[in-house]
Each structure stands twice: as structure tokens, then as C-alpha cells.
């Protein structure tokens, strides 16, 4: 009896899913529109939640959206190591045009991107940005040596992998080299902080849920099992090693307009060990910066935060890049192009 009931439930599920799939595709094909922040909540997944080559694995119940498929890219970094990544291009992409580019950096740092649907990247592409997302050394999925090579060296050569990727795409001719942006969260946010402290190449940056001071982070994070992995000794025995790899050490070299996005209840990367330190220092130096702190949010703000906070987060990210790369005024930040500090 039990096995018959289970079989019946499975059959009903298949029928229901098939009905949904048929009902969606039976609707008249409306004109496609650009994806928006609020579309974050409008997706109905059928089967595996990834984009198949013909796009059939992602179904949109309430709207027909003008999306693009990711384009895989591989290139050689400074030491000959092969790096994999993807490019999300705007709808109706024209290779003869010059587009602004946003480099997106994953967290972990042992995370990894893949050929899949990403609402944030599709949103940026719909607004006219080319999005580049890469798996630099330290990313998982490429073997133990590739993943562990950054031990005691993060951040460092992973930045060189990322910059080589930007070079690879810029030389293709459809990127405006004066309109480059960079964004990342968690360990990716730390890499954003590190990058803008070592180059003035980017017109704007967004750093989220970052940690900018290794020593403060060592004493305050609720993620203590990372500590013996990243450094050979605790900070009270080797303070110089922690300072050398902390973005806050290089804060005086930062000229890129940068936004920090933090969660008030983030105990993995407390704001006072990351963005808040950077923000206070940059304000003291009179550099263009803003900080957004979301109440009641932890380290998973971007993926598991309160619904409206997730939408507002996307709105802030787009507004910041639009202001500094598209020339769209956003007076709510109290900054304008004249506030940009010139190159070093």
C-alpha cells in the first residue's frame, strides 16, 4: 500500500510539472523585456536550475525576459597557468560598440563560478554592462594544487589572474578601458579592497561583506577554523605578516570610488573588521566612498537576506556603477564626478 501511495505521488508530481511547463509555453509569446531587480522572485525552475544550451531549463512564469547565455573563456595567466571564466554580454550585443565592464569576484576564496544562471549578472548585462566572472587560482574544481597554491598567499597572485582576464577581454575591442568596474563579496570583497589599493585601473568598485584587516578578523570572526590555514602564526606572534596582506594597510593608495555593503549581524565578516574600517579611513582621506549597512542581516545577505533587502542591495550596486561608469546622477550618495581623486 505504501509503495502504491509513493508511486501515485510521484506520478502526480510529474503530471503537475508537465502541466506547468505546458501552461507556460502555451501562453502567447509576448515581447521580451529587460530583467529587473524585482524579477529576483519571479522564477519557476523546471528540473535542474541551470541554463541549457537552448535555454529550455529556465522558465519564467510571469514574464518573458530578454536574457543572454554566458560565454566561456579561457586564457593563460602571468605564469602560464590556465584560467577559466565566463562573459555575460548585454542583449543585442554589438561587437563594434564599446561597453563598460564589471569584473565580478567570487568568495571563499575557494569558491567557483560556473556556466549557470545568475540574476545579478543578467541584471547588469540588461543595463548595458559586460560582466566578466573568473575562477582564479584558489578556486575549487581544478585540482588540489590549483586550490591550495594560495595558502599563506591570499590575497596575492589571484589578483594577477584576474587582471590578466580583464586584459584578455579588453583586447577583444568591445570594452571601454576607461569604464571598468569591480565587485565581489566576502573573500571576493577582500580582493576588491586589495585590487583598488594596488591599481587605479577601475572607475568604480563595490565591496560587500569583506574583511580588510586580517588581525581584527582573527580576533572577531566566528569562523576560527580558517585561521591556522591562512597564516602560520597568530597575529600576536607575527603582526607584520597580517599587515602585509591586509587591504587596510594600503588604504592611502585607494582613489577608486568604492561602495561597501555590510550586514549589521554579520559575524563571519564583521563590518568593523572590513568595510567599516575602510570606509572610515577613506572618509578621513576625503576619498569618494559610501557604506550601506542592512539591519538584521548576516553574511548571507545576497542570497538569504530579507526579500526587500536583497532587492535594495541590487539597486545600490547598479546605482553606484551607473553613477561612475554611465554618468547617471545619484544625489542620494552626496558625491559626484568632481569628487573623484585623480590618478596617483
Per annotation, catalytic residue among 186, 207, 212, 271 = 186
Question: Is the Cα torsion angle 306, 311, 314, 316 positive or negative in sign?
Answer: negative
DSSP string for 292-319: EEETT--TTHHHHS-HHHHHHHHHHHHH
Residue 198 a catalytic site member: no
Per annotation, catalytic residue among 119, 299, 302, 316 = 299
Residue 186 a catalytic site member: yes
Task: For the sheet with 204-208, list strands across it.
Answer: 71-76, 82-88, 130-135, 99-105, 175-185, 204-208, 258-263, 289-294
CA–CA distances in Å: residue 21 to residues 40, 51, 53, 235: 20, 15, 18, 56
C-alpha cell at 220: 572577531
Q: Rounded CA gap, 241 and 237, in Å?
A: 9
Q: Which residues are catalytic?
A: 186, 299
Amino acid at each position: 500500500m505504501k509503495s502504491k501511495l509513493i508511486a501515485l505521488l510521484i506520478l502526480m508530481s510529474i503530471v503537475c510539472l508537465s502541466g506547468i511547463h505546458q501552461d507556460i509555453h502555451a501562453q502567447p509569446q509576448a515581447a521580451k523585456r529587460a530583467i529587473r531587480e524585482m524579477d529576483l522572485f519571479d522564477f519557476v525552475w523546471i528540473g535542474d536550475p541551470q541554463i541549457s544550451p537552448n535555454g529550455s531549463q529556465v522558465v519564467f512564469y510571469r514574464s518573458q525576459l530578454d536574457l543572454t547565455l554566458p560565454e566561456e573563456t579561457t586564457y593563460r595567466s602571468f605564469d602560464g597557468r590556465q584560467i577559466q571564466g565566463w562573459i555575460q554580454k548585454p542583449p543585442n550585443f554589438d561587437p563594434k560598440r564599446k561597453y563598460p565592464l564589471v569584473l565580478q569576484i567570487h568568495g571563499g576564496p575557494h569558491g567557483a563560478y560556473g556556466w549557470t544562471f545568475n540574476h545579478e549578472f543578467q541584471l547588469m548585462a540588461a543595463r548595458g554592462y559586460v560582466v566578466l566572472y573568473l575562477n582564479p587560482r584558489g578556486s575549487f574544481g581544478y585540482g588540489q594544487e590549483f586550490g591550495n597554491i594560495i595558502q599563506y598567499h591570499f590575497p596575492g597572485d589571484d589578483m594577477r589572474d584576474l587582471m590578466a582576464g580583464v586584459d584578455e577581454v579588453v583586447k577583444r575591442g568591445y570594452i571601454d578601458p576607461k569604464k571598468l568596474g569591480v565587485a565581489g563579496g566576502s573573500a571576493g570583497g577582500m580582493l576588491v579592497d586589495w585590487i583598488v589599493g594596488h591599481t587605479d585601473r577601475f572607475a568604480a568598485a563595490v565591496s560587500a561583506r569583506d574583511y580588510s584587516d586580517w588581525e581584527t578578523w582573527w580576533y572577531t570572526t566566528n569562523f576560527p577554523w580558517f585561521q591556522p590555514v591562512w597564516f602560520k602564526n597568530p597575529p600576536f606572534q607575527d603582526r607584520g605578516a597580517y599587515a602585509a596582506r591586509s587591504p587596510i594597510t594600503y588604504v592611502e593608495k585607494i582613489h577608486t570610488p568604492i561602495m561597501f555593503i555590510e550586514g549589521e549581524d554579520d559575524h563571519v565578516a564583521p563590518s568593523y573588521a572590513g568595510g567599516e574600517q575602510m570606509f572610515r579611513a577613506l572618509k578621513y582621506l576625503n576619498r569618494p566612498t559610501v557604506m550601506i549597512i542592512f539591519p538584521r542581516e548576516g553574511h548571507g545577505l545576497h542570497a538569504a537576506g530579507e526579500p526587500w533587502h536583497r532587492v535594495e542591495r541590487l539597486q545600490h550596486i547598479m546605482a553606484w556603477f551607473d553613477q561612475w561608469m554611465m554618468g547617471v546622477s545619484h544625489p542620494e550618495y552626496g558625491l559626484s564626478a568632481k569628487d573623484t581623486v585623480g590618478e596617483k
